[in-house]
């Protein structure tokens, strides 16, 4: 193999965005070593600039002629680009909100950002990884950084406990995942590349074997953990409550997106012959997640725990698109994850802002907030209502598209359950709005009575405000002006070869449905 | 042209809500809201007079592509079914703002929510796209929740949540049905004229239609799903009750006519007998329960359930005359309920109670509130169906149009109409007549407080004497709608005959 041929097979340009992030990451670390704590004032901005540069690089890779790189280890197709973009965006907003939070907790910001960027890197590589070892390594990069982030405020016993819990469950579930992956390697006759595995399984004539089903189940256990689908969700509420809030914001969007990216790529490429089986399993997971997430969220008193259960439920909604398995289904997933980014990060920014000013995040303590902090009230109300799917906010359009795609694919039961649980979800989202807006001045909680004067000029609050306003505006208008986002989501699916192969097989089924009925 | 009706109030709502200075006196906010809603009302009247009476289809259509992936387009139009509802909406918005107290707490949120609701309801009446309709339909959910639970009575938190959940369930049902209609027919767009349910099997049509009936039945409300109504109406303050009863209930009947009868003509004729009985039961139930009430606002609330029963009967009969009656009844119920709620609000504000056992002798010329009582008598009579007032005209057309189709149900509704007279006589007797307590000393009713009631009363009398102005708008449209149903009905009948 001569060098030119090798270079073209490596095709290293596809990971330019990740390359930029690696450089930023190292830069942040070295600056921290040289300058120490004094760099904390501004170290967030170069990191954000690096992430933005990575997004720009992603933009220029859209519709790349030759997306496969590293001899098949990494695919830079449009699907991966859109997921990598979501993860990078969520990291940007996370940095914006963490500058003040981490500084107030008395820990080093640069270290935090370095670990966060590593997690971002892991998530971005996971979105495009198309080889078993590569998948596992990027998954571990993401997971190990997440454990570190969860326990970052190490003087707080709750943060420690959350980190321990997350570590134990996470490590166990990656072990299960690894076992499933190793089975795949064996079943396919020693292939590690995803498309080769599918062929290998057919050649080895094990496409309906028990071994394949077991490996499928084990892999789903690993994926279910990342996207916190019930019954693999148990870590979510505890980790969300204990971990630093910016970390949860990242976990709920970045890490979850990576999990869904992995799910799409792995399941559609490797398991097309057992598609009915994994659809069935995910249907069960979606039903459980929607019911459990939404019903248990009703009984929460802590804001972060409520958002934890809400994120379980939202994962259930997104799974409808995955189960549908049509072009519209995948596109609706991508679209929902995009708007979920805005809604959730806006909501978490408000939670951070409130807890920075008052030091608590109990739902009852929010009562009467509209008088003291109208901007926070407005942003939190709108993001929660958008999560509940109230028009004309972004979440409404996201949910409509999911339900529409689900209905088109003939998933009537799931869509109806989604509608019913949406009504349930409106109840607990509106409970917070009620606390903030409806309560009379005399019903104000003690914390709000002593609410500090709203100031934005303290160090680190300005970026928080920017993140808040930007995500608020996006949550409000991303639905009404949703055409570009829809086009983006649809193109990302229709330009992706691995999906096109499976979609044509699936979409013939629902088309026949009306005639049968 | 029509977009003005939607966007001016919504933008005004945003401006009022986000105006930076915090120190605007409540009075000025109210004045701004009043001016804007007045301008919208004038614009609406302008459209009303531009409206071509001889065209059965949509007029003043507007079209903008919006989101083709979802099949959602911004497509507006007005026909005989919706034109009166639009006028009702802007009229009652203006009245509601006018009759709101000068020193409402948190005025900016209050008026911005009212204007938001007004724009949303106008959008729902105008939408020619199922998804667009749903979007506007759900848009009023949160503003109304806040309007009830911030500026309401004692049990407002309970009433607000109850309203919210019922409406959200209704929305979910409607959305599911819409999705079903569009996908099962294989249509790629949610535009109303692109969806034709005729190709579906009878069973499926029936299933979808029952989704529509249940979804809108919660909103109307039909009898088993009505339990949110008394709480929401009673706990809401007077202006909000006017909007709730006057406008929101019409959204339900309008949806039933437009999407139930208009889109499922075949299945509609199958369920029509059930609906007629259902309407009659609603009417009787509303009247009987109203008789038992001790609270005047609650009485008026139940009267609303009864009156919406007539609309259901007329829609079920679906003769040309009955449909004209349904639209007229929707409009006249809107203005009658508005005046009743306004007057009850004034009585409560001046006397300080709504209990039938405590009120007495309000008619007394010097110490009582005679003009308000007189108007109360007038509107009670209008509600009960006394000739010369608009309530009679509407009910008479309804009964006349429905009798040929469903004689029994019509007779039951006539009985209910008689019972309506019974409880209004009870109400008037206990409040206006009798002797005033010696301790009673009521504040004076200002002219500005009487104004809305006077305007509505004039309208009620005018339409009662000159009913052409009530019915002429919808005649062409309803005839066309009936023409779409009749052939289907005939086939059903002939099939039955063959068997």
CB contact under 8 Å between A438 and B149, yes or no, is yes
pLDDT value, residue A512:
40
Structure tokens at A6: 């090798």
Smallest CA–CA distance, residue A416 to chain B, in Å, is: 7
Task: Using an 8 Å CB-CB cutoff, list chain B residues near A438.
Answer: 146, 149-150, 157, 160
Contact B237, B105 (CB under 8 A): no
Cis ω before A231 (30° cut-off from 0): yes
B168 touches chain A (CB under 8 A): yes
Neighboring chain B residues of A385 at a CB cutoff of 8 Å: 142
Of A427, A490, A517, the CB nearest to B69: A490
Enter the ipTM.
0.90
Residue A219 has pLDDT above 50, yes or no: yes
Helix axes A303-324, A394-408, angle to 10 degrees: 30
pLDDT given at position A1: 53
Shortest distance between the Cα of A72 and any Cα of chain B, in A, equals 33
In chain A, residues with a C-beta closer than 8 Å to the C-beta of B116 are none
Assess contact for B323 and B258: CB atoms under 8 A: no
Per residue in A55-94, pLDDT (tens digit) is 999 999 888 777 888 888 898 889 999 999 999 999 999 9
* A415/B168 Cβ within 8 A: no
CB < 8 Å to B171, chain A: 423
Using CB atoms, which residue from B161, B176, B185 is nearest to A416? Answer: B176
What is the predicted pLDDT for the residue at B189?
Answer: 83
Q: Give me the residue from A392, A412, A419 closest to B172, CB to CB.
A: A419
Report d(CA A317, CA A419) in Å as an integer: 10
Asked if residue A216 has pLDDT above 70, the reply is yes
> Do B67 and A482 count as a contact with CB atoms less than 8 A apart?
yes
| Cβ-based neighbours of B407, under 8 Å, separated by 6 or more | none
Tell me whether residues B183 and A407 touch, CB distance under 8 A. Answer: yes
Q: How many residues does chain A have?
A: 517
Q: Does residue B483 belong to the interface with chain A, where contact is any CB pair within 8 Å?
A: no
pTM for the predicted model, two decimal places: 0.92
Long-range CB contacts (within 8 A, 24+) of B349-358: B349/B101, B350/B442, B350/B443, B350/B445, B351/B440, B351/B442, B354/B295, B354/B296, B354/B297, B355/B294, B355/B295, B356/B293, B356/B294, B356/B295, B356/B296, B356/B299, B356/B426, B356/B427, B356/B430, B356/B431, B357/B294, B357/B430
Inter-chain touch A407–B146, beta carbons under 8 Å: no
Cβ atoms of A125 and A141 closer than 8 Å: yes
Contact A50, A23 (CB under 8 A): yes
**A54-63 LR contacts (CB < 8 Å, sep 24+):** A54/A17, A54/A18, A54/A20, A54/A21, A54/A24, A54/A88, A54/A124, A55/A17, A55/A85, A55/A88, A55/A89, A57/A16, A57/A17, A57/A20, A58/A17, A58/A84, A58/A85, A58/A88, A61/A13, A61/A14, A61/A16, A61/A17, A63/A495
CB contact under 8 A, A430 and B142: yes
What is the bridge-based pairing of β-strands A74-75 and A68-69? antiparallel
What is the pLDDT at residue A508? Answer: 41
CB-CB neighbors (< 8 A) of A517 in chain B: 184, 200-201, 204
Name which of B131, B176, B201 is nearest A419 (Cβ-Cβ).
Answer: B176
CB contact set of B144 (below 8 Å; sequence gap of 6+): B113, B117, B163, B167, B240, B243, B244, B248
- Report phi then psi at A311, rounded to 5: -70, -30
Strand partners of residue B295: B355
Which residue in B has a C-alpha nearest to residue A397's C-alpha? B70
Band of the pLDDT at A2, cuts 50, 70, 90?
low
Crossing angle, helix B407-431 and helix B390-403, to 10 degrees? 160
pLDDT tens-place string over residues B366-376: 888 889 999 99
Chain A to chain B, count of Cβ pairs less than 8 Å apart?
83
Q: What is the pLDDT of residue B493?
A: 46
B142: contact with A, CB 8 A cutoff: yes
Q: Is A88 left (phi over 0), alpha (psi -120 to 50) or beta?
A: alpha
What is the per-residue burial (b if ≥16 Cβ within 10 Å, else e) of B231-264? bbbbbbbbbbbbbbbbbbbbbbbbbbbbbbbbbb
Which B residues in the span 196-235 are in contact with A, Cβ-Cβ below 8 Å?
A: 200-201, 204
Q: Searching chain B, which residue's CA lies closest to the CA of residue A382? A: B142
Q: What is the pLDDT of residue B382?
A: 93
Along the 499 residues of chain B, how does pLDDT read in single tens digits?
Answer: 889 999 999 999 999 888 876 667 778 888 999 999 999 999 999 999 999 888 888 889 999 998 888 888 999 999 989 999 999 999 999 999 998 887 778 888 999 999 999 999 999 999 999 999 999 999 989 999 999 999 988 899 999 999 999 999 999 999 999 998 888 888 878 888 888 777 788 889 999 999 999 999 999 888 889 999 999 999 999 999 999 988 988 999 999 999 998 888 888 988 999 999 999 999 999 999 999 999 999 999 999 999 999 999 999 998 889 999 999 999 999 999 999 999 999 998 888 888 888 888 888 888 888 899 999 999 999 999 899 999 999 999 999 999 998 999 999 999 999 999 999 999 999 888 888 877 777 888 888 888 889 999 999 999 999 999 888 888 888 888 888 776 555 444 444 444 4
Q: What's the rounded Cα separation, in Å, for the pair B366 and A208?
A: 93
In terms of pLDDT, which residue wins out, B187 or A376?
A376
The shortest C-alpha distance from A392 to chain B (Å) reads 7
- The residue in chain B having the minimum alpha-carbon distance to the alpha carbon of residue A405 is B70
Distance from CA of A301 to the nearest CA of B (A): 18
Task: Say if the Cβ atoms of B184 and A517 lie within 8 Å.
Answer: yes
Radius of gyration of chain B (CA): 22
List phi, psi (to 5°) of B434. 90, -165
Q: Which of A198-202, A287-291, B173-177, B226-230 has the lowest mean pLDDT?
A: A198-202
Does the beta-carbon distance from B70 to A392 stay under 8 Å?
A: no
Mean pLDDT on A309-332: 94
Band of pLDDT at residue A513, cut at 50, 70 and 90: very low
pLDDT at B498: 44
- Class of residue A453 by CB neighbours under 10 A (exposed 0-12, middle 13-18, buried 19+): exposed
Give the DSSP letter of residue A68: E
- Please report where in the chains the tokens 């639209």 appear, as a residue: B327
CA A223 to chain CA centroid, Å, is 12
Decide: B198 and B211 in contact? Cβ < 8 Å: no
Instruction: Count CB-CB contacts under 10 A for residue B6.
Output: 23
Is it true that the peptide bond before B136 is cis, omega within 30 degrees of 0?
A: no
């Amino acid at each position: 193999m001569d060098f030119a041929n090798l270079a073209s097979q490596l095709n290293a340009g596809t990971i330019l965005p990740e390359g930029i992030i690696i450089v930023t990451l190292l830069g942040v670390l070295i600056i921290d070593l040289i300058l120490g704590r004094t760099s904390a004032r501004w170290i967030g901005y170069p990191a954000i600039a690096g992430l933005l540069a990575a997004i720009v690089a992603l933009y220029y890779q859209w519709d790349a002629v030759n997306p496969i790189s590293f001899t098949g280890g990494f695919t830079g197709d449009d699907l991966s680009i859109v997921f990598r973009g979501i993860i990078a965006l969520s990291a940007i907003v996370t940095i914006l909100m963490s500058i003040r939070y981490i500084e107030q907790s008395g820990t080093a910001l640069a270290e935090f950002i370095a670990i966060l960027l590593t997690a971002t890197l892991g998530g971005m590589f996971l979105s495009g990884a198309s080889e078993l070892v590569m998948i596992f390594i990027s998954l571990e990069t993401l997971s190990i950084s997440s454990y570190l982030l969860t326990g970052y405020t190490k003087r707080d016993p709750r943060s420690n406990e959350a980190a321990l819990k997350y570590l134990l469950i996470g490590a166990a579930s990656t072990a299960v995942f690894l076992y499933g992956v190793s089975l795949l390697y064996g079943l396919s006759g020693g292939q590690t590349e995803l498309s080769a595995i599918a062929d290998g399984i057919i050649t080895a004539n094990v496409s309906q074997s028990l071994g394949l089903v077991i490996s499928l189940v084990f892999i789903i256990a690993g994926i279910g953990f990342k996207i916190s689908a019930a019954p693999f969700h148990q870590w979510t509420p505890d980790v969300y409550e204990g971990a630093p809030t910016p970390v949860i914001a990242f976990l709920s969007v970045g890490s979850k997106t990576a999990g869904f990216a992995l799910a799409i790529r792995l399941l559609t490429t490797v398991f097309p012959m057992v598609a009915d089986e994994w659809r069935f399993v995910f249907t069960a997971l979606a039903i459980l997640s929607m019911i459990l997430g939404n019903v248990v969220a009703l009984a929460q008193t802590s804001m972060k725990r409520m958002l934890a259960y809400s994120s379980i439920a939202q994962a259930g909604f997104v799974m409808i698109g995955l189960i549908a398995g049509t072009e519209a289904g995948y596109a609706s997933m991508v679209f929902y994850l995009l708007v979920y980014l805005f809604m959730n990060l806006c909501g978490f920014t408000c939670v951070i802002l409130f807890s920075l000013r008052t030091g608590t995040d109990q739902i009852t303590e929010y009562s009467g907030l509209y008088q003291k902090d109208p901007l926070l009230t407005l942003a939190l109300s709108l993001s929660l209502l958008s999560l509940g799917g109230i028009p004309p906010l972004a979440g409404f359009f996201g949910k409509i598209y999911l339900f529409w795609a689900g209905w088109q694919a003939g998933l009537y039961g799931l869509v109806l359950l989604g509608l019913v649980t949406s009504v349930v979800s409106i109840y607990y989202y509106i409970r917070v709005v009620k606390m903030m807006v409806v309560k009379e001045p005399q019903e104000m909680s003690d914390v709000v009575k002593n609410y500090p004067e709203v100031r934005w000029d303290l160090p680190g609050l300005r970026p928080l405000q920017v993140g808040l306003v930007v995500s608020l505006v996006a949550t409000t208008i991303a639905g009404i002006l949703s055409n570009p986002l829809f086009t983006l989501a649809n193109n990302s699916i229709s330009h992706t070869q691995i999906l096109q192969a499976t979609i044509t097989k699936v979409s013939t089924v629902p088309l026949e449905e009306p005639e049968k009925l | 042209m029509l977009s003005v009706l939607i966007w001016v109030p919504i933008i005004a709502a945003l401006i009022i809500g986000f105006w930076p200075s915090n120190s605007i006196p409540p009075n000025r906010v109210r004045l701004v809201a009043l001016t804007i809603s007045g301008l919208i009302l004038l614009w609406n009247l302008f459209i009303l007079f531009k409206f071509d009476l001889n065209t059965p289809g949509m007029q003043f259509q507007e079209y903008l592509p919006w989101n083709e992936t979802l099949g959602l387009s911004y497509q507006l139009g007005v026909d005989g079914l919706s034109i009166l509802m639009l006028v009702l909406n802007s009229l009652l918005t203006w009245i509601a703002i006018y009759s709101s107290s000068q020193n409402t707490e948190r005025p900016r949120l209050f008026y911005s929510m009212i204007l938001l609701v007004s724009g949303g309801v106008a959008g729902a009446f105008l939408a020619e796209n199922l998804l667009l309709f749903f979007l506007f339909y759900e848009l009023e959910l949160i503003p109304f929740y806040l309007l009830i639970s911030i500026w309401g009575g004692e049990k407002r938190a309970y009433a607000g949540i109850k309203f919210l959940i019922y409406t959200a369930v209704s929305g979910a049902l409607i959305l599911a049905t819409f999705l079903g209609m569009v996908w099962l027919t294989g249509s790629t767009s949610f535009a109303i004229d692109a969806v034709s349910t005729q190709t579906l099997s009878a069973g499926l049509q029936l299933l979808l239609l029952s989704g529509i009936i249940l979804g809108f039945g919660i909103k109307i409300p039909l009898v088993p799903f009505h339990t949110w109504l008394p709480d929401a109406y009673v706990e809401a303050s007077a202006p909000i009750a006017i909007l709730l009863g006057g406008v929101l209930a019409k959204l339900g009947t309008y949806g039933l006519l437009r999407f139930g009868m208009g889109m499922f003509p075949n299945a509609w004729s199958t369920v029509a007998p059930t609906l007629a009985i259902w309407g009659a039961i609603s009417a009787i139930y509303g009247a009987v329960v109203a008789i038992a009430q001790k609270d005047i606002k609650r009485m008026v609330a139940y009267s609303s359930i009864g009156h919406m029963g007539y609309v259901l009967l007329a829609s079920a009969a679906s003769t040309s005359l009955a449909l004209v009656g349904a639209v007229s009844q929707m409009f006249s119920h809107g203005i009658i309920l508005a005046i009743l709620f306004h007057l009850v609000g004034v009585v409560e504000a001046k006397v300080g109670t709504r209990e039938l056992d405590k009120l007495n002798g309000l008619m007394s010329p010097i110490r009582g509130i005679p003009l308000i009582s007189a108007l109360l008598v007038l509107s009670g009579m209008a509600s009960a169906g006394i000739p010369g007032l608009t309530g009679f005209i509407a009910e008479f057309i309804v009964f006349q149009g429905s009798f040929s189709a469903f004689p029994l149900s019509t007779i039951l509704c006539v009985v209910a109409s008689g019972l309506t007279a019974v409880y209004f006589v009870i109400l008037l007797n206990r409040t206006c007549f009798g002797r005033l307590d010696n301790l009673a000393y009521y504040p004076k009713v200002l002219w500005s407080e009487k104004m809305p009631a006077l305007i509505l009363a004039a309208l009620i009398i005018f339409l009662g004497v000159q009913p052409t102005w009530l019915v002429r708008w919808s005649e062409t449209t309803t005839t066309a709608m009936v023409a779409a149903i009749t052939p289907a009905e005939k086939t059903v009948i002939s099939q039955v005959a063959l068997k």
